[in-house]
């Protein structure tokens, strides 16, 4: 838990997403919905993404954010939510794996 | 996510009120549930658990899978009195995840020297609480022994529905305090919420031990919100 009892609005993903929405941007919200083993970010953590690929927040320690952003832009285009799963990094998928050995499930949906 | 749900959720979070975003992972529909809203069945029971624990997760109910994202405000502890007990309580509360603030108008007590790295207000509670109001995710412990300092803050804590209200002093001291609070307009039901003598009964003797007893009581009060003495959800 943080020491700050009020929201850190400048860095809070959901506050940023609302701001983007007010600016007329298309936004996707990614949420960690399940974790197994060692996972860097707890269930409920958010990454928010706009149609240009700008993002705030995190769903891992930076291991899979790139892949989530790519998928999120697709979700913004189609409007169809996706459930993504990331496991241990291996040779074929080392760019989008979790080197910590955990597994996470990330739900990506469009805002609106 | 529904834009209205996001706006509502952020408004609740800014106001330091608990809310849960409930998302049907099958069709993506979502809604906000506030603490105290009635939700029936297994989903309602899971929501009640999430409000208490603050933990997010998936739940199967009515043949569907829902994701509950629990947004609870950071609980905090406000201590009236920059005394010996507070010196021990400050680092302990911080470690336990309850950021602490100390209010004491007596400038000889409320010195940064005695309280390094603590949010310290050498002012009257009347003035500080106007700026930094209490709420239901705040615990208040009044430990000055001085009615001039403690009483206003205790009344304010009861009115703000603080999840914990404790006051230092013997049963005899507390009986006199009850009389004063009644005269100030607090109801008997409100006054019954005050933990006095303060702290869990662990036989605490030293100021640091009393701090442990107080902190344990605060944690218990926080983790049993909305549950009666028999452990049944209210």
Q: Is residue A4 part of a domain?
A: no
Q: Are B215 and B92 in contact (CB under 8 A)?
A: yes
Q: Do B28 and A109 touch (CB under 8 A)?
A: yes
Give the model's pLDDT for residue A39. Answer: 77
Q: Is residue B99 part of a domain?
A: yes
* Token duo for residue B218: 């605060």
Average pLDDT over residues B114-121: 95
Low-confidence ranges of chain A (pLDDT < 70): 1-4, 88-101
Give the model's pLDDT for residue B30. Answer: 96
Task: Name the residue range of residue A36's domain.
Answer: 13-110
Task: Looking at the structure, tell me whether residues B36 and B122 fall in a common domain.
Answer: no
Put simply, whether A78 touches B (Cβ < 8 Å) is no
The pairing of strands A55-57 and B138-142 is: unpaired
Q: Do B58 and A5 touch (CB under 8 A)?
A: no
The total of structural domains in chain A comes to: 1
Give the model's pLDDT for residue B80. Answer: 98
Residues B127-154 have pLDDT tens digits of: 999 999 999 999 999 999 999 999 999 9
The mean-pLDDT minimum among A86-95, B56-65, B78-87, B159-168 falls in A86-95
Q: Is residue B63 part of a domain?
A: yes
Q: Are A29 and B3 in contact (CB under 8 A)?
A: no
Judging contacts by C-beta atoms under 8 Å, the chain B residues touching residue A43 are 55-57
Q: Do B6 and A21 touch (CB under 8 A)?
A: yes
Average pLDDT over residues B70-74: 94
Q: Is residue A6 part of a domain?
A: no
Higher per-residue confidence, A5 vs B218 = B218
Average pLDDT over residues B102-125: 97
Task: Looking at the structure, tell me whether residues B164 and B210 fall in a common domain.
Answer: yes
Closest residue of chain A to B93, computed from CA coordinates: A3
Q: Is residue A1 part of a domain?
A: no
Name the B residues in 36-55 with CB < 8 Å from any A CB. Answer: 55
The yes-or-no verdict on residue B182 having pLDDT over 70 is yes
Task: Looking at the structure, tell me whether residues B33 and B136 fall in a common domain.
Answer: no
| CA pair distance A80, A68, nearest whole angstrom | 14
Give the model's pLDDT for residue B232. Answer: 47
The total of structural domains in chain B comes to: 2
Q: Where are the alpha helices (H) located in chain B, listed in sequence order? A: 3-14, 41-53, 84-96, 125-131, 147-159, 171-183, 188-191, 207-223
Q: Is residue A81 part of a domain?
A: yes
Give the model's pLDDT for residue A111. Answer: 97
- Give A5→chain B minimum CA distance, Å: 5
Task: Looking at the structure, tell me whether residues B11 and B85 fall in a common domain.
Answer: no
Give the model's pLDDT for residue A94. Answer: 47
Last residue of a domain, one of B54, B71, B88: B71
Average pLDDT over residues B195-214: 97
Q: Is residue A72 part of a domain?
A: yes
The pairing of strands B76-80 and B138-142 is: parallel
Q: Is residue A85 part of a domain?
A: yes
Put simply, whether A72 touches B (Cβ < 8 Å) is no
Number of inter-chain CB pairs under 8 A, A vs B: 59
Q: Is residue A36 part of a domain?
A: yes
Task: Looking at the structure, tell me whether residues B114 and B20 fall in a common domain.
Answer: no
Task: Name the residue range of residue B192's domain.
Answer: 76-223
pLDDT band per the 50, 70, 90 thresholds, residue B230: very low
Q: Is residue B232 part of a domain?
A: no
Task: Looking at the structure, tell me whether residues B195 and B110 fall in a common domain.
Answer: yes
CATH code of the domain covering residue B120: 3.40.50.720
Give the model's pLDDT for residue A9. Answer: 86
pLDDT band per the 50, 70, 90 thresholds, residue B227: low
Of A5, A42, A43, the CB nearest to B99: A5
- Give A91→chain B minimum CA distance, Å: 31
Judging contacts by C-beta atoms under 8 Å, the chain A residues touching residue B9 are 14
| CA pair distance B154, B190, nearest whole angstrom | 10
Rg (CA), chain B: 20
Put simply, whether A4 touches B (Cβ < 8 Å) is yes
Give the model's pLDDT for residue B210. Answer: 97
Q: Is residue B231 part of a domain?
A: no
Q: Is residue A66 part of a domain?
A: yes
Judging contacts by C-beta atoms under 8 Å, the chain A residues touching residue B57 are 33-34, 43
| CA pair distance B49, B44, nearest whole angstrom | 9
């Amino acid at each position: 838990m943080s020491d700050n009892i009020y929201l850190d609005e400048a860095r809070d993903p959901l506050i940023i997403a609302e701001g983007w929405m007010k600016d007329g941007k298309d936004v996707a919200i990614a949420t960690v919905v399940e974790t197994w083993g060692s996972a860097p970010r707890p269930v409920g953590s958010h990454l928010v993404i706009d149609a240009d690929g700008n993002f705030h927040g995190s769903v891992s320690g930076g291991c899979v954010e790139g892949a989530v952003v790519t998928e999120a832009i697709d979700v913004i285009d189609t409007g169809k939510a996706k459930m993504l799963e990331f496991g241990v990094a291996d040779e074929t998928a080392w760019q989008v794996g979790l080197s910590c050995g955990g597994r996470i499930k990330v739900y990506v949906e469009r805002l609106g | 996510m529904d834009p209205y749900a996001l706006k509502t959720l952020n408004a609740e979070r800014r106001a330091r009120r608990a809310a849960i975003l409930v998302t049907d992972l099958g069709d993506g529909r979502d809604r906000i549930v506030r603490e105290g809203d009635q939700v029936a069945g297994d989903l309602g029971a899971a929501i009640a658990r999430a409000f208490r624990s603050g933990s997010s997760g998936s739940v199967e109910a009515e043949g569907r899978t829902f994701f509950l994202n629990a947004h609870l405000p950071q609980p905090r502890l406000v201590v009236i009195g920059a005394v010996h007990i507070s010196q021990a309580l400050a680092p302990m509360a911080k470690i336990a995840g309850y950021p602490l603030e100390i209010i004491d108008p007596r400038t000889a007590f409320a010195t940064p020297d005695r309280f390094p790295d603590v949010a310290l207000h050498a002012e009257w509670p009347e003035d500080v609480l106007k700026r930094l109001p209490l709420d239901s995710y705040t615990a208040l412990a009044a430990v000055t022994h001085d009615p001039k300092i403690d009483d206003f803050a205790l009344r304010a804590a009861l009115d703000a529905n603080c999840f914990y209200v404790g006051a230092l002093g013997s049963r005899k001291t507390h009986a006199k305090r009850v009389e004063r609070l009644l005269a100030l307009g607090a109801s008997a039901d409100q006054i019954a919420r005050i933990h006095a003598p303060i702290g869990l009964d662990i036989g605490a003797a030293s100021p640091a031990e009393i701090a442990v007893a107080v902190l344990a009581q605060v944690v218990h009060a926080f983790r049993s919100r909305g549950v009666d003495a028999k452990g049944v959800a209210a």
